[in-house]
Amino acid sequence: MLHRLPPRLVHACTDVVAFARLQAAARSDKLACYLGVDPTAASLHVGHLIGVAAVRHLAGIGFTPVGLIGGATALIGDPSFRDKEREPLSPDIVARNATALEAQLKRLLGDECVMVNNAAWFSRMSAVELLKDVGTHFRVNAMQSREAVKHRDGLSFTELSYSMLQAYDFYVLHREHRVRVQVGGSDQWGNIVSGVELIHKLRGRGEDAVGLTVPLVTVGKRKLGKSAGNAVWLDASLTSDFALYQYFMRLDDDDARGIAGLFGDDEAWTKAELAAHVLAMARGDDAVARARKLTGLLYGEHTADTRAAVVAAAGEADEPPTRVEVGQLVAAAACKAGLCASNNEARRLEASGGLYLNGARVAKGCTLSEDDFEGGVALVRAGKSRWKVLKR
């Protein structure tokens, strides 16, 4: 039934039969699907890209993509799978974040994407209207029993209302933009089901409304995202092209295979293929070319003639330098820069031939000289992937 959408992108669906029917009718009936994000940060992150990929596939089938920015819901805070209530954000911060996220989501979903902000309709509703017209369709016991919040003691009324607000988003988009499918992460299942149920209550059981959840991107069995504290940001000012590319190059093999299985049809993708795919999706092919060039310069074999290019590449990779002294042991400088936990570890790395300075293997007891600092900086590397910039 889900043959038109790659199975790897589907975690759960509220109504498989209705979804198949909607896929067949999407183009002719001018239907739409939507993905919502709350502007609780100034950037989207890698974890958002699975939902983006699902919406892109649905757009290829014929659905008009709709991107919803939760300008109102971000002020409330989603309690799903959180141990405590979120710290409230000021309206100014939310508005600033919303502007940034709207531009990102618009670029990711394409020019045909329709962008909306739920502050537009919630700002027009009084508290009495919301409680009378929407709140009456929700039962507190059912909301508290949702998997996402049932572990919490002392859930505030504000947090409890979040699911109702997200449900109303789906209803508004269903009514005004012909949205029939909501896409969200698997941790959003309860909120999405609430939206489907509200539409059926307000618009009738005969109305098609489907919730589709996608798998979460995980690293080390932990969700990749802001709430987990391990977000990999899509904004280039927060994560450079090189850093985003190298994040995937440095993943544990099992994590890389798992993520490759989400983004591509083949888990046998190399880490380089995975890194290129994600970076191209987030930033475009030019970003991939830049990251690959820097990777080749930083981690390839070098001669004295290429040292200047290596050092320049290190600067372009946005790696903050560590100040060291001329005459200092290279092993000690590597330790100071954070490549090794101790001087003893650095010396062992040096003795094993795994320590490099400006692309050349460091001999035992080697010290830093003036000539090592072209342009005032030098590059020290441990093994094939970990490196730091030194500054005299």
Tokens (6 digits) for 311: 């050092």
Do the domain assignments include residue 205?
Answer: yes
Considering the domain architecture, whether residues 176 and 40 belong to the same structural domain is answered as yes
Residues present in the chain in total:
392
Could you give the C-alpha distances from 255 to 217, 220, 223, 242, in angstroms and in order? 9, 7, 12, 20
Q: What's the CATH code of the domain at 72?
A: 3.40.50.620
DSSP string across 187-207: GGHHHHHHHHHHHHHHH-TTS
Tell me the one-letter amino acid at 7.
P
Q: What's the CATH code of the domain at 314?
A: 3.10.290.10
DSSP string across 304-339: GGGHHHHHHHHHHTT---EE--TTSBHHHHHHHTTS
3-class SS of residue 12 = strand
Do the domain assignments include residue 167?
Answer: yes
pLDDT of residue 3: 47
Give dist(CA 161, CA 72) in Å, integer: 12
Q: List per-residue pLDDT tens for the chain, 392 residues long.
A: 454 788 889 999 999 999 999 999 999 999 999 999 999 999 999 999 999 999 999 999 999 999 999 999 999 987 676 667 778 899 999 999 999 999 999 999 999 999 999 999 999 999 999 999 998 998 887 777 777 566 777 777 788 888 999 999 999 999 999 999 999 999 999 999 999 999 999 998 889 999 999 999 999 888 888 877 788 999 998 988 988 999 999 899 999 999 999 987 666 889 999 999 999 999 999 999 989 988 887 776 666 566 667 667 766 766 678 999 999 999 999 999 999 999 999 999 999 999 999 888 999 999 999 988 877 778 888 987 788 888 88
Considering the domain architecture, whether residues 310 and 211 belong to the same structural domain is answered as no
Give dist(CA 290, CA 370) in Å, integer: 30
Considering the domain architecture, whether residues 204 and 97 belong to the same structural domain is answered as yes
Nearest to 281 by CA among 188, 187, 217, 229: 217
Give dist(CA 258, CA 198) in Å, integer: 35
Considering the domain architecture, whether residues 328 and 193 belong to the same structural domain is answered as no
Nearest to 336 by CA among 165, 58, 345: 345
Do the domain assignments include residue 61?
Answer: yes
Angle at 382 between CA 381 and CA 385, to 5 degrees: 80
Do the domain assignments include residue 223?
Answer: no
Give dist(CA 7, CA 213) in Å, integer: 11
Choosing from 216, 232, 251, the residue where a domain stops is 216
Give dist(CA 10, CA 216) in Å, integer: 10
Nearest to 178 by CA among 206, 154, 208: 208
Considering the domain architecture, whether residues 196 and 338 belong to the same structural domain is answered as no
Do the domain assignments include residue 52?
Answer: yes
Considering the domain architecture, whether residues 27 and 143 belong to the same structural domain is answered as yes
Tokens (6 digits) for 185: 């992460």
Torsion-angle region of 44 (φ positive above 0: left; ψ -120 to 50: alpha; else: beta)? beta
Give dist(CA 138, CA 163) in Å, integer: 9
pLDDT of residue 1: 43
Element holding 184 (H helix, E strand): strand 179-185
For residues 146 and 163, the answer to whether their CB atoms sit within 8 Å is: yes
Nearest to 48 by CA among 262, 225, 175: 225
For residues 185 and 47, the answer to whether their CB atoms sit within 8 Å is: yes
> In terms of residue numbers, what domain contains 151?
7-216
Structural domain count, the chain: 2
Model confidence pTM above 0.85: no
Do the domain assignments include residue 274?
Answer: no
Considering the domain architecture, whether residues 59 and 195 belong to the same structural domain is answered as yes
Considering the domain architecture, whether residues 196 and 320 belong to the same structural domain is answered as no
Choosing from 169, 200, 216, the residue where a domain stops is 216
Considering the domain architecture, whether residues 210 and 310 belong to the same structural domain is answered as no
Do the domain assignments include residue 237?
Answer: no
Choosing from 164, 188, 216, the residue where a domain stops is 216
Supply the Cα-derived Rg of the chain in whole angstroms.
25
* Strand ranges across the sheet with 12-13: 12-13, 210-214, 179-185, 32-37, 64-69, 114-117
pLDDT of residue 83: 67
Do the domain assignments include residue 301?
Answer: no
